[in-house]
Structure formats: C-alpha cells, structure tokens
Structure 1
C-alpha cells in the first residue's frame, strides 16, 4: 500500500469514526521505530481516539521509518494527507536534533568496562567455590529438615556455560556468583536461598542484560528521553552506588517477581565494592549486601537461629536474613494544602538525610528558603501557588525545580551551581529570563504559555539543550533571526498541523525537510488521490 492509498484509507476510517455534526476533522498519528502507533484526534474524546488506533494498525506499512502522519477531512469528503519522516511526533510536536544527547545522570550505552572485568578462561576460584558450596549444602540440609523434601533447584552449570554467558556480557562475573551457578543453575522453586529473592538461569541473565539497553536500570529513575528524563536520587546508603539511572555494568541475576530485581554491581561508586548486590525496581535503588557470599551467609545464619516462617502448603521459607533490613529509599515528601499548614514546622519533623524530592501544593505565598533544612534536596516543586520566591541558594544540591504560580522572580535563582532542569507554568506577568543566563548547568527549560517579552534571551543560556515552547513563542524567536543551533531536543506544545511543524523544523535547520502531501475526495474513485 503506497502513501496515497494509506491517506485515503485513514480518511475513510476518520469519516466512519467522526459521526455527524462536524465541518472538519483532523487525525494526527506518530509511528515509532517498533511499529507502535500513537493517535491524537480530539482531547475531549480520548477513549474513542485510543480505540481508533487498533483500527488503523492495518493501514500502516511496518517497514517505514518513524514518521508523523496527518489527515484533515472536510465534511464534503475532501481530504489532505501529509506524512513526514523528519517530524516523527505530534501533539505535542517534538524534534530530536541530537539522538546521542543524554540528560545528567542518564548515561548512554558504551560506558567503559572497569579494569579487571575482562572475560577469562580461568575456572572459578577454588577457595570461593568451597565457601559457597558449604553454605549451599548447609542451606539444603536445613531446608530439607524443615520441609521434609529437598529444595527444587535446577542443576548447576559448567565452567564452559558460565564462560559462554560472560563472553556475551563481555565481563567476568564475581567469583561467588560464578560459584553459585556452578552449584545451582536456578532457584526455580524460590526456596529462600537468597532470602525473598531467587536467582534466574544464566540464559535469563544474558537475555535481561541485553534487553533494550545493556546492563540494568533503576525503575522510575530511568528514562532516556531528553524530554522527561528525571533527576536520579542518591541510593541508600550514600556513596556506594553510582548516582546514575542505568549502568552497563549492573548485571541483573534475579528478583522477587514483584517488580524488584537484584544485580551485581561491577561499577560501584568510590565507597562501594565491585560485586556488591544492589536492588533496583520501580521505586528502589539500594545496597543489599557487599557480595553474594554475604547474602548466603545471612540466610544460613538466620536459619541456624530459627529466624524463618513457613506457611502450610508453601514450599518457600520466609527467612529473616540481615539484608532484609536494609533501609528503603523513601526520598519523596509531598506537602498538600500548604496554605493551611505551618510549613516550617511540617518540614522540621522530617529526616533531612532522607528527603531528596519535595513538592508543595495549594498555597498562597511561599519562599523556598523554607526548604533549606532539607539539605539533600535534589528536586523541588511548588504547585498551584499565588507567589513563589525561589530562594534556593541554601539548597546546593538542587537539580530540578518546578514552579506553578501566578508570580515569581527568577533573580533568586541566579548563579545556582547545580540546577539543570527548570519548569515554569501559569505565570500571569511578563517574565524576564536574564537571571537564567547565570546558571552554568541549566540544560532543560520549559516556558510554554508564558509571556516572555525578550524571547531572544534564550540565546544567552550557555548550557541549554532541551527546550519546551509554544508555537507563538517559537514564531517570535525565529522572527528575531535566532535558531538555537545547540538544541538537542525541542517540544512545541499545543495543537499544530503537520505542515506547520515541518516549516518550523525547516527554519530551525536551515535546510529542506521531508514532507509528502496528497489530496483527494472520498466521493471520487480511489485512483484520483494525487500528490
């Protein structure tokens, strides 16, 4: 099916879906690299819009590159179909100029392999193998005595199997993890050998390592998109795990089948140890144990002391190993209805060593200097406020700030050393961006919908790489003769038509941009569609 046929098919589907009582209908779609499709029609009827996606899947050529598509259909049957592989996202329109760009704390694949991790043909250290063997054998004996049957484990793997897995990962695994695989290929019965975790097969280890990006990532902290990648909090305990959203040299080897996984960290922070075991998941990034050996030792020690629970008919043991008591990373503080609270008193009750993100909402006037007792704060937000005074000089680690208020004064942000992400919403007064030029690391800025009289001040922001504007702001910026050549990514909010988006992109690049357009009428035979 060529593009002309696709355009007519989409126009037919749009007419069938749109019903009666309309003069013009617009359908915009974005197709990603995997063939996934996002559709936008009418924000007031998203359920029907999502249902339309399934109908349209059959019209899409799966071998085409990522692209944006648009159908504009009049009630008399006339339609215009447009397609562009240069503007691959609409509603909002998003342009990615530098696909290699990453926000701070979100490293790209290809991180250098730490020294000493090269795969080697040497067998597992015999002393480590003896130590792990003794621990595994004692666990099996105690488990059998408690349950009346041997643990359900898959057979151990050979040195050749382990070496083959390491060759695919391109790193030698810690000696104690190698020893565990020599003895137990997989804890398929989730017996409690590693507490409430169970290790996976070597095949799964390799598969998970290469899934999406090499290595492992930290759940909600991981987002490679420059538009929404978040601040990465410090893991618990601090200084042991690198403050990154993902790492090529975190090798997941098991989990608890509840969105929590464990990995050996082969690239620790300065205070950590290669081979330490970390837990990662949707909300968790913490150190579990200094090694697999320590985990096994904790489990066997707990069994010796009788610190376990067994439920009738359940082959698993709930073992109270020491590493189960590792502190959770509870780092977010939400304070609602600020107008009705004594904010200073509320904050004084919190542990300043724990809170790394704080969001305030529904207040009148707030001075962010009130947050200074939270010395580890890396992310802050003030939402639905009257006035926000962003005095954040006393928050030296702050990286991300969101202000949703009627009034603010950016001068209070001047020269902040670590702030790289700033989002401003709802301001009702003209905004002077000049103070932002003093921020050495301001990488991402969102100002769509605001009155920015001197829009060309954007060109004075030395580190700006990711920007969100509305179409009016961008039109004024381009009319001033500026192109922001160092941008890595741009978002244009609101509804704009695909030809308009392509024209913006053409002006920003200063070169031709791909756009194909076809017109036709549903009242004519299919072959009448024309470019």
Structure 2
C-alpha cells in the first residue's frame, strides 16, 4: 500500500467515524516507538476512545517506517493527507533532536565491564560446586519426601555450554550461579528451589540480556523517551545497588512470572557485593540476597524448620525463605486534601528514611519547608494548590519538582544544587524565569500554558536539554531570535497540526524537515 492509498483509506475511515454535524475533521497517527491515534472534529466532540482505534484498525501497515500521518477532511469529502518521518508525535507534537541524550541516572549501553567479570575458560570453582551440590541435593531429598516425587528439573549444562552463554553476554557468571546451571538447566517445574522465584534456561538468560539494550532495567522500558523519564530512586537497602535505571552488568536469570525478575549484579554500589541477587521488577530495586548460595541456604533452612506450604495438586512448594522477609519500604507518600489536614503532623508521622517521593494535593497555601524532615526526598509534587512557596533548600537531594497552583515564587528555588526537572502549571500570574538560571543542573522544564512575558529568558538556561512549551510560547521564542540549539527534545503541547509542527522544527534547526502531501476527494457523503 503506497502513501496515496494509505491517505485515502484513512480519510474514508475518518469520515465513517466522525458521524454528522461537522465541517472539518482531523486524524493524527504517530507510528514511532510510542504510537498514538488522535482525532477530533469542529462539531460535537466524539472523544478518542476504543471506537476510534477500532475504526482505524488495519487502515495503515504496522510495519511502515516510523512517521506521523495526518488527514484533514472537509464535510464535502475533500481531504489533505500529510506525513513526515521527522516528527516523532503529534498532539502534543514531539521531537527528539539528540537520541543519545539520557536523563540523570539513566545510562546508555556501553558501561565499562567491572574488573573480574571477564569471561574465561576456567571451569566452575570446585569448592563452590560442592557447596551448591550439597544444598541442591538436600532440597531434592526433602522435596521428594514432601511431594512423593522428584523435582521437575531440566538436566544440567556442561562447562562448554555455560562458557558459550558467557561469551555471548561478555561476562563470567558468579561461580554459584554457574554451579546451579551445572546441576539444573532450568527449574521448569518452579519447584521452590529459589523460593518464589525460579531460574530460567541459559538460552533465556542470553535472550533477555540482549533484549532491547544489554543488561537489565527496572520500571519502565530502558529506552523510555527523554520527555517521560523520571527520577531514579535509591534502591533498598541503600548503598548496595547503584542508583541507575539500567545496568549492562545486571544479568537476569529468573523471576516469578508476575513482573518481578531476579538478576545477579556484577556491578554493585560501594556497599554491595559482586554476585548479589537483586529484584528489579519494581521502580525501586531491592536486594534479595548477597549471593545465589545464600538464597539456596535460606530455602533449605526453611525446609528443615518446616516453613513451607503445599497446595493439593500443585507441584511447587511455597517456601518461606529468609530473603522473602526483606522489608520493603514504600518510597512514595501521597497526602490528599491537604486543606483539611495538619500537614506538619502528617509528615511527622512518616519514616524519613523510607520516603523518596511526596505528592501533596488539594490545599490552599503550602510552604514546602514543611517537608524538610523528609530529607531523603528526590521528588516532590504540589497539586491543585492556591499558593505554593517552594522553600526546598532543606531538601538537598531533590531532583524533580512539580507545582500546580495559582501562585508561586520561583526565587525560593535559587541555587538548588540537584534539581534537574521542574514542571509549573496553572499559575495565574506572569512568570519570571530569571531564578531558574541559578539552578546548576536544570535539565528538563515544563512551562506550557503559562504567561511568560520575557520568553527569551529560556535562552539563559544553558543546561536545559528537554523543554515543553505551547505553540504560542514557541512562536514568541522564535520571534525573539532564540533557537535553543542545546535542546535534546522538545514537546509542543496541545493540538498541533503537522504543517505547524514542521514549520516550527524548520525554524528551530534551520534545516529541511521532510513533509509529503497528497490531496483528494471522497465525494459527498451518501
């Protein structure tokens, strides 16, 4: 299907979806990594729900190169179909200028391999193999006595097979994990050998390692766009696991099939240990055990003490191993309806070591100095407030701040050493951005919808890499002669037509932005 055929098909589908009572309808489809389908008319608002997706299903090839499509259709059947591969998304319009840029604590592939992790031809350490063999044998004996049958394990792998897998990931696995694979190729029956987790085959280890980017990541996908990537929180317990969103040298080797994975960490933080086992399915990673051997020991110890559950007909043992009792500290504090609460008392009741993110909502006047007891905060949000005083000097680790209020004074932010992400919205007064020039690490800024008289102040933010504006603000910025060449990504909020987005990009970068256009007519609606 060529572009002209795609445009006509989309125009036909758009007319069928739009119904009656309009003079122009618009359809926008983004086909990049973060696709979207949006449509509206100048008549009644039909919304952009499931009916729109159903209406457009199959109208364009899913394997077409990344691009955005737009159809503008008149009621008389005339349409204009435009497409561009140089705009990442529309409504809001987005463009990544520097795909290699990464927000803080979100490293790209290519992290140096830690010393001692080089693959070698040496066989598995015999002493470690003996220790792991004894633990596995005892588990198998106790499992058989409890269930009446031997555990369903795949045969172990040879030294050559393990070495071949290591060559593909370019790292030597910890000796105890190698020993586990020598004995058991895969815990296909999820028997409980590693508690609630089970280890995968070596083939799966290699496949998972190279999925998307090398290594493992936690939370959202490791290639999350610059305009969405949030703060990376400190892992639990602190100081053991590096505070990064992904690591080339986290090697996943199993999980519990509930979006929780375990990995051996070959690149620990200063207080950690190479070969430690981490769980990385949640936004905050946590340490499971100092080694695979420790996990096996905990499981066998639990079986000896009778700390297990078995359900009739289920071959698995639910073993209450010690590593399942690692305390998880909820890192997010949500305080709703602030206007009706004693905020000082609410904050005072919290464990300051556990909270890394705090969001307040529905208040009148709030001074963020009230949060100073929670001095480990990295993210703060104040939503639907009348006045916010952003006194955050007492939050030395703060990285991200969101203020949605009628009034605020940015002077209170002056000089904050770690703040890199700032979102302002709802302000009912003109905004002076001058204080933001004192923030040494300000990297991402969202100010769409605000009255910023001196919009050229944005040019003074030399470290700014990711920016969200509305079309009116961007028009004024360009008229001031500023192009912000350092930007890695730009979002233009609201409904933006493709021709407008292309013109903005042409002015910003002074280079050609591709745009193809087709016109046609469907004829009057029958």
User: Under a length normalisation based on structure 2, what TM-score does the superposition of the two structures give?
Assistant: 0.96
Kept in 2, the 8 Å contact 1:264–1:278? The answer is yes
- Name the CA distance, whole Å, in 1 between partners of 2:388 and 2:469: 22
Q: Classify the secondary structure of the residue corresponding to 2:428.
A: coil
Q: In the TM superposition, what are the counterparts of 1:483-522 in structure 2 within 5 Å?
A: 483-522=483-522
Q: Cα deviations across residues 332-355 of structure 1 (Å, max 9, x unaligned)? A: 000001011110111111000000
State the match for 2:469 in structure 1: 469
- List gaps (5 residues or longer) in structure 2: none
Kept in 2, the 8 Å contact 1:106–1:224? The answer is no
Moved more, 290-299 or 310-319: 310-319
Root mean square deviation of aligned Cα: 1.6
CA positional deviation for 1:189: 1.2
**Aligned pairs, number:** 521
Kept in 2, the 8 Å contact 1:147–1:315? The answer is yes
- Name the CA distance, whole Å, in 1 between partners of 2:95 and 2:401: 23
- Name the CA distance, whole Å, in 2 between partners of 1:318 and 1:138: 16
Kept in 2, the 8 Å contact 1:221–1:245? The answer is no
- Name the CA distance, whole Å, in 1 between partners of 2:322 and 2:521: 72
Q: Are 2:234 and 1:234 equivalent residues in the alignment?
A: yes
Q: Cα deviations across residues 458-495 of structure 1 (Å, max 9, x unaligned)? A: 01112100000000000000000000000000000011
State the match for 1:398 in structure 2: 398
State the match for 1:150 in structure 2: 150
State the match for 1:77 in structure 2: 77
Kept in 2, the 8 Å contact 1:37–1:53? The answer is no
State the match for 2:137 in structure 1: 137
Moved more, 220-229 or 472-481: 220-229
Moved more, 484-493 or 106-115: 106-115
Q: Structure 1 residues 62 and 319 mapped into 2: Cα distance closer, same or farther (>3 Å)?
A: closer
Aligned equivalent of 1:42, options 28, 40, 56: 40
State the match for 1:528 in structure 2: none
- Name the CA distance, whole Å, in 1 between partners of 2:237 and 2:89: 40
CA positional deviation for 1:456: 0.5
- Name the CA distance, whole Å, in 2 between partners of 1:295 and 1:472: 58
Q: Cα deviations across residues 159-200 of structure 1 (Å, max 9, x unaligned)? A: 111111111111110010000000011111111111111111
State the match for 1:196 in structure 2: 196
Q: Classify the secondary structure of the residue corresponding to 2:280.
A: strand
Q: Structure 1 residues 37 and 436 mapped into 2: Cα distance closer, same or farther (>3 Å)?
A: closer
Q: Classify the secondary structure of the residue corresponding to 1:71.
A: strand
Moved more, 322-331 or 310-319: 310-319
CA positional deviation for 1:218: 1.1
After TM superposition, the runs of 4+ consecutive aligned structure 1 residues lying more than 3 A away are 43-48, 50-59, 61-64, 220-223
CA positional deviation for 1:222: 5.1
State the match for 2:187 in structure 1: 187
State the match for 1:325 in structure 2: 325
CA positional deviation for 1:115: 1.6
Moved more, 350-359 or 199-208: 199-208
Q: Cα deviations across residues 283-311 of structure 1 (Å, max 9, x unaligned)? A: 44100111001111111111122222222
Kept in 2, the 8 Å contact 1:195–1:321? The answer is yes
CA positional deviation for 1:378: 0.3
Moved more, 103-112 or 389-398: 103-112
Q: In the TM superposition, what are the counterparts of 1:85-234 in structure 2 within 5 Å?
A: 85-220=85-220, 224-234=224-234
